[in-house]
Amino acid sequence: MATKYIFVTGGVTSSLGKGIISASLAKLLQARGHSVTIQKFDPYINIDPGTLNPYEHGECYVTEDGAETDLDLGHYERFLNVHTSQANNVTTGRIYHHVITQERAGAYLGKTVQVVPHITDEIKRRMLLLGQSGEFDIVITEIGGCVGDIESLPFVEAVRQLRWELGVNESCVIHLTLVPYLKAAGELKTKPTQHSVRDLSEAGVQPDILVCRSEYPIPQEVRKKIALFCNVKQNSVIESIDAETIYDVPLLMRKEKLDERVIAKLKLPHKADPNLDTWKEFLGRLKNPTSEVNIALVGKYVELPDAYKSIIESFVHAGSANECKVNIKWFQSENITDENVTGLLQGMDGVLVAPGFGERGFKGKLEAIRFVRENKIPFMGICLGMQCAAVEFARNVLGLSGAASTEMDPETPHPVIDMMEDQKQITQMGGTMRLGAYTCELKKGTKAYSIYGKSRISERHRHRYEFNNTYLQAFEEAGMHATGINPDTGLVEVIELQDHPWFVAAQYHPELKSTVLNPHPLFVKFVKAAINHSKSK
């Protein structure tokens, strides 16, 4: 069977949840026995989101092969439990970069290079790439931004051409819109949806299915009106109501028969009904917790939770695994001082110091770590969080005055965290860090080994600076052990404190590999330690 293609577009406003709808539909089709992948096409000119401020775009999600991608790819992996790659996230910047590089190399043989056909041809080539691998029955392509935006036009044009080239039942367009409720009028309004579909139709693409986001149920007469004005069947007007958790959405879409509409449109073989038993079990545990913990997340982007999206979701997965409600309490690291740290953190059952870059909030993170180390509160550090744990230990236990990371203080007398030699030559910012999956060896008999239950693991990285092994012996002698080491480079990956109930910090990003079906063991055991701590109070 040839690969079928589903295109998901959005209108009216951004942030309607195209990523969650795409992931939920993919989950339903996967649960029916189809092999599915999802790709995200972003209309911005950055080559990738690696250089974007998290306040602009939320977190930067890193794949196994080291691509810095959109946070929606995190949703895809968490829902489907399959890896994404460089090919799953494409930006306008990447498209133009490729076409211009080709033009400079003389690939177009003197032709005038234009948006149509050259840019749209490159978009189409990348839209078909994963389908041509032979691995997937269905490829879902989510197009970022809004229909009607200038920057989205080439993508919509590429979809128009592809639909024509692929044939009638080979593709399907799902358009996500908003049906707002006006309190003054006391009714749901369909006009924004009508305008949005008209914009899409003017660009030559007629949607097959409309998914209508709403805060209130959409009655049949409103669906009938939308169907009439938008040229879709009434049973293809799907309601997407606000959900208690994003993990409810696949079940809500199943109830609305979104997967059945897609199967009918694509003339897919009607395999068995979707098997969602494990998904329902996960939700059952999530919604019926037997315990509750408060975990402090100390970071510098806490005003925008999307900056820590994967960490939040990892706590959801770990909470469900422990039948525990995890309440994340947000702490802006800039606001934590020696004077107020006790008042802020003493009631917490666990503290996580988050990843990040730059000096802002560094001192607050050190204060938080000193407090949890001295007061035996479960602690987990990720990436910069691990580096902060090393600096705090060097200063306050080893007595190395002025110890720091050379990222924060290039002149530090004790660079316990320093840049790798091969990184010192780099002048470009984008895509030049240690990125993607690397192997780590865990020492037997350690907390890290007991957490994973094996000695060889693979985890994803995104950083430039490393633990300076010159200080390793002093750390070990004082009770801070390097329990995870990269076998190829000897670089420290995991540190843990000996005389502490649970003090583990990792140079890698465990949150990037946590999924509904495979909650990450570090988060699962950290939540367990927090439960034990809350009981001992």
The 3-state DSSP class for residue 76 equals helix
Token output for 223: 């669906």
Active site residue 509: yes
Q: Is 421 annotated as a binding residue?
A: no
Q: Is 194 annotated as a binding residue?
A: yes
- Residue 296 in contact with residue 348, Cβ under 8 Å? yes
CA distance 435 to 415: 22
Q: Is 32 annotated as a binding residue?
A: no
Q: Catalytic: which of 212, 383, 388, 440?
A: 383
Q: Is 491 annotated as a binding residue?
A: no
Secondary structure letter of residue 487 according to DSSP: T
CA distance 199 to 41: 19
- Which one-letter amino acid corresponds to residue 167? G
Q: Is 429 annotated as a binding residue?
A: no
* Pairing state between β 379-382 and 36-42: unpaired
* Pairing state between β 138-143 and 4-10: parallel
Neighbours of 272 (CB within 10 A): 8
Q: Is 17 annotated as a binding residue?
A: yes
Q: Is 18 annotated as a binding residue?
A: yes
Q: Is 374 annotated as a binding residue?
A: no
Q: Is 350 annotated as a binding residue?
A: no
Q: Is 149 annotated as a binding residue?
A: yes
CA distance 235 to 399: 70
Active site residue 463: no
3-state secondary structure 122-173: HHHHHHHHCHHHCCCCEEEEEECCCCCCHHHHHHHHHHHHHHHHHCCCCEEE
* Cis amide leading into 117 (omega within 30): yes
Q: Is 48 annotated as a binding residue?
A: no
* Pairing state between β 181-182 and 187-188: antiparallel
Q: Catalytic: which of 118, 500, 509, 533?
A: 509
Contacts of 188 (CB under 8 A, 6+ apart): 179, 180, 181, 182, 214, 216, 218, 219, 222
Q: Is 329 annotated as a binding residue?
A: no
CA distances (Å), 4 to each of 86, 205, 221, 431, in order?
A: 21, 17, 32, 32
Q: Is 162 annotated as a binding residue?
A: no
Token output for 74: 């995190």
Q: Is 20 annotated as a binding residue?
A: yes
Q: Is 37 annotated as a binding residue?
A: no
Token output for 507: 């140079």
Q: Is 94 annotated as a binding residue?
A: no
The 3-state DSSP class for residue 118 equals helix
CA distances (Å), 471 to each of 172, 263, 489, in order?
A: 58, 60, 16
Q: Catalytic: which of 388, 511, 520, 533?
A: 511
CA distance 275 to 108: 49
- Which one-letter amino acid corresponds to residue 183? K
Q: Is 424 annotated as a binding residue?
A: no
3-state secondary structure 504-532: EEECCCHHHHCCCCCCCHHHHHHHHHHHH
Provide φ and ψ at 509, rounded to 5°.
Answer: -110, 90
Q: Is 110 annotated as a binding residue?
A: no
Contacts of 376 (CB under 8 A, 6+ apart): 500, 501
Q: Is 309 annotated as a binding residue?
A: no
CA distance 495 to 179: 50
Q: Is 121 annotated as a binding residue?
A: no
Active site residue 374: no
Q: Is 15 annotated as a binding residue?
A: yes
Q: Is 193 annotated as a binding residue?
A: yes
Q: Is 72 annotated as a binding residue?
A: yes
Q: Is 407 annotated as a binding residue?
A: yes
Point out the annotated binding site for Mg(2+). 72, 142
Known binding-site residue numbers for L-glutamine? 55, 356, 384-387, 407, 464
Residue ranges for the known binding site for UTP are 14, 189-194, 225
Catalytic residues: 383, 509, 511
Residues annotated within a binding site = 14-20, 55, 72, 142, 149-151, 189-194, 225, 243, 356, 384-387, 407, 464
User: Binding-site residues for CTP, please?
Assistant: 14, 149-151, 189-194, 225
